[in-house]
Amino acid sequence: MANKDDKMFNTTVFLVLGFSDIRELQVLYFALFLLIYWTTVMGNLLIIILVTLNQQLHTPMYFFLINLSLADIGNISVSIPKAMSNSLMNTRIISYSECVFQVFFLILFSVTDLFLLTFMAYDRYIAICNPLHYGAVMNVGTCMQMAGGAWVSGIFCAMLHTGATFSMPFCSNVVNQFFCEIPQLLKLSCNGNSMIETRVNVFAACLALFCFVFIIFSYVQIFTNVLRIPSVQGRKKAWSTCMPHLIVVSLFICTGTLAYLCPTSEAPKDLVMMISALYSMLPPMMNPLIYSMRNQEIRAALLKFFGWKLYSKH
């Protein structure tokens, strides 16, 4: 392995961390990741199918939920299948192009997730705090523009981060993670953090802070208005539409904060990998479950869907 004071390393492949050197444990990790991956993909696909087939769910909130499910499927599909393949094949190698692919799409889907969650908070704010103008404000054109803006913003941020990261020379090819992520790749740079990447990180931090502040502000207004609703039934109905989104936002923020603010240089390798696995797998896997368990309309659509299938089968 080259030192950062040595000659620039000619990187054609990267070596990522494996979860274990014991063959039996590698197979066990493969089976566990496969179960989590298929549970996540099928859960999010089920949400997409339910919303698409049920006319009662053709509302702005569920339109954003479809986009969130698509982003979640993409997010977990970027890193986990490669980790499963490495465990099964007993290898740690990831090609340069695969590493670029992982960085680009991880940023794309993460940023898209963040913007979609922000727009969903705005949707709940309009629905509860300004219900008389909800139809005019959250019309089809506006929802399409907001969803399109989330995806375009994800692509833009992904291009910025990927270009800034891979424009730097690397003095090592050993990534201290089971997939390629920017913080670990920056540690391999011969020059440390470049000025370009520093500026990009500042821009991304400001963007994330704006989204978080907007979400918090929206829910402060929502809570204030819900408490003013005179009937208990009305308050329960308002809470039921907000709680799934609030739980999903909290899960996204907590796991993301844990993953990127944890001092990875001092932390043990196994802890770093566990935190990253938690961040990359838990939110996409839990989001469909949260919306299914906490949302009455999704539960009703789910029962209707499987009830109809069972009836048609008999």
For position 184, what pLDDT does the model report? 82
**277/81 Cα distance (integer angstroms):** 12
Any idea of the CA torsion for 102, 106, 109, 113, to the nearest 10 degrees?
170
User: Do 91 and 19 contact (CB within 8 A), yes or no?
Assistant: no
pTM of the model: 0.85
The mean pLDDT of 221-226, rounded to a whole number, is 86
- The pLDDT mean for the chain works out to 81
User: Do 87 and 18 contact (CB within 8 A), yes or no?
Assistant: yes
For position 35, what pLDDT does the model report? 92
Q: Model confidence over 64-106: pLDDT tens digits?
A: 999 999 999 999 999 899 888 888 888 888 999 999 999 999 9
The Cβ-side half-sphere exposure at 8, using a 13 Å CA radius, reads 10
The mean pLDDT of 4-17, rounded to a whole number, is 66
What contacts 279, CB < 8 A, 6 or more positions away?
255, 256, 258, 259
Confidence of residue 314 (pLDDT cuts 50, 70, 90): very low
Query: Which DSSP state fits 202?
Result: H
Residue % of the chain over a pLDDT of 70: 85
**134/29 Cα distance (integer angstroms):** 47
User: Do 131 and 269 contact (CB within 8 A), yes or no?
Assistant: no
User: Does 21 score more than 60 pLDDT?
Assistant: yes
For position 194, what pLDDT does the model report? 59
User: Do 25 and 95 contact (CB within 8 A), yes or no?
Assistant: no
**175/309 Cα distance (integer angstroms):** 47
Confidence of residue 1 (pLDDT cuts 50, 70, 90): very low
Confidence of residue 294 (pLDDT cuts 50, 70, 90): low
Q: Model confidence over 255-269: pLDDT tens digits?
A: 777 766 665 555 566
CA-based nearest residue to 14, from 187, 190, 188, 175: 175
Q: Model confidence over 99-157: pLDDT tens digits?
A: 999 999 999 999 999 999 999 999 989 988 888 888 889 999 999 999 999 999 999 99
Confidence of residue 40 (pLDDT cuts 50, 70, 90): very high
142 compared with 183, residue with greater pLDDT: 142
**144/60 Cα distance (integer angstroms):** 9
Facing residues of 14 across strands? Answer: 94
Q: Which two tokens stand for residue 70?
A: 């698509």
